[in-house]
Structure 1
Amino acid sequence: MILPCQITFRDFSPSAALAELIQKKADKLDQLFDHIIGCRVVVEAPHRHHHNGRHYHIRIDITVPNGELVVGRDPPEKAAHQDAYSAIEDAFDDAERVLHEHARKVRRDVKRHDGVSRARVKKLFTEQGYGFLETRDGREIYFHKNSVLNNRFHKLHIGDEVRYAEEDGDKGPQASTVGVR
């Protein structure tokens, strides 16, 4: 992170323990995506409910090249006695998801969902729980038994025609879903 993390507490006394937790979480974000310019975190206890205690609002603004990512964590409507620590944990979990998505877009590594296509089962490794499809244009697509709909992996045979949705996997194209006809 180029700029130090800025932490603001509103409507309650600042806490060194909360500030330390926020800094630790911000450092983790910086490890996930090394192009973060700055991070601003606001922890706010807007009002106190007579029956439910304080409900904390967390806002995280992450400055990245060409933009800003904003994460807000409002208290759930019926949460009783939500503490600031759990609100911060939840907000930073959301920030991690937003940052992962942003990093994928920056890398142009967005999952490809070209719709449903047809292919034939080319290879099956039933003991290991995976196989390969052959597309109409001759490409080979990996699939795992967990991507076969309705738990029908065991019903597949070489040569069966299936429907599939393709995405980019770690080692090349893979079928995210496989529908047995």
Structure 2
Amino acid sequence: MQVPLEIAFHNIEHSDRAETQIRDHVARLEDIYDRLTACRVRVDQRANNTNQTIPPVVRIEISVPGFKDIVVAHEPDRLQRRFQRPDLTNAIHEAFRIAERQLSEFKEKLANRTAVMMHEAANEFAGQVAEITPGEDYGFLLNKEGGMLYFHRNSLLSGDFDRLKRGDYVTYVEEVGDTGPIATKVRIKQKNGRD
């Protein structure tokens, strides 16, 4: 992690054993996803607990680069339904069980999204604007085989449709439309070769 682990105890006495458990769980989170930037854990005894029957709340905030924090806060009433005599250890294990599941789901979504992006890049072709009719919302691209592909204004992902002109270089993804092949995900290529 880029930021050291933060562990705080509020309205409850600090416990070395609990801190060790938390550090072990955070190490497992890092094994699941090694790009964590920060993790904050707060153990809080919210209610008056003179008879030791209400477990503390364990709140975990996991920071990952480029996305919203993953936040887990396991409430005492859920622990009381799950365990006969819930304690701090139960609260820690249960909160981190949920955090591990959420982080695994996040990692899987990220992998699927990356796979889709890589798939699109593999299916991307270079072409050239062949026809643009002023005042219309569509045009035609010249593909690598010399054929014409229809594309709509809404297919343009980068650049200004109204400034397109014949001969502009583009990249596109070819898909099958209602009337045959069409160009989608069209991006204008700059003269230096970059999008």
Pairwise same-fold verdict (TM > 0.5): yes
- 3-state SS of the aligned residue for 2:69? strand
* Structure 1 unmatched ranges of 5 or more: 111-181
Question: Secondary structure at the residue paired with 2:43?
Answer: strand
User: Hey, what does 2:76 align to over in structure 1?
Assistant: 75
Offset at 1:12? 1.1
Determine if contact 1:48/1:55 at 8 Å carries over to the other structure. no
Cα distance between partner residues in 2 of 1:78 and 1:60: 16
Cα deviation digits, residues 69-95 of structure 1 (max 9, x gap): 101111126826420001100000000
Q: How many residues align?
A: 110
Q: In the TM superposition, what is the alpha-carbon distance from 1:52 to its structure 2 partner?
A: 6.0
Partner of 1:107: helix, strand, or coil?
Answer: helix
Query: What is the TM-score with the length of structure 2 in the denominator?
Result: 0.52
Does structure 1 residue 62 correspond to structure 2 residue 62?
yes
Q: Which residue of 2 aligns with 1:21?
A: 21
Q: Which structure has the greater CA radius of gyration? A: 2
Paired residue secondary structure (1:108): helix
Aligned residues of 2:79 and 2:86 also touching (Cα < 8 A): no
Q: Is the 1:29–1:96 contact (alpha carbons within 8 Å) kept by the matching residues of 2?
A: yes
- Provide TM-score, normalisation by structure 1: 0.56
Tell me which residue corresponds to 2:108: 104
Listed as ranges, the gaps of 5+ residues in structure 2 are 115-195
Whose helix fraction is larger, Structure 1's or Structure 2's? Answer: 2
1:35 aligns with 2:39: no
Q: What's the CA shift string for 1:9-33, capped at 9, x where partnerless?
A: 0101111110111011001100110
8 A contact 1:46–1:55 mirrored in 2:
no
Moved more, 30-39 or 68-77: 68-77
* Ranges of 4+ aligned residues in structure 1 off by more than 4 Å: 49-52
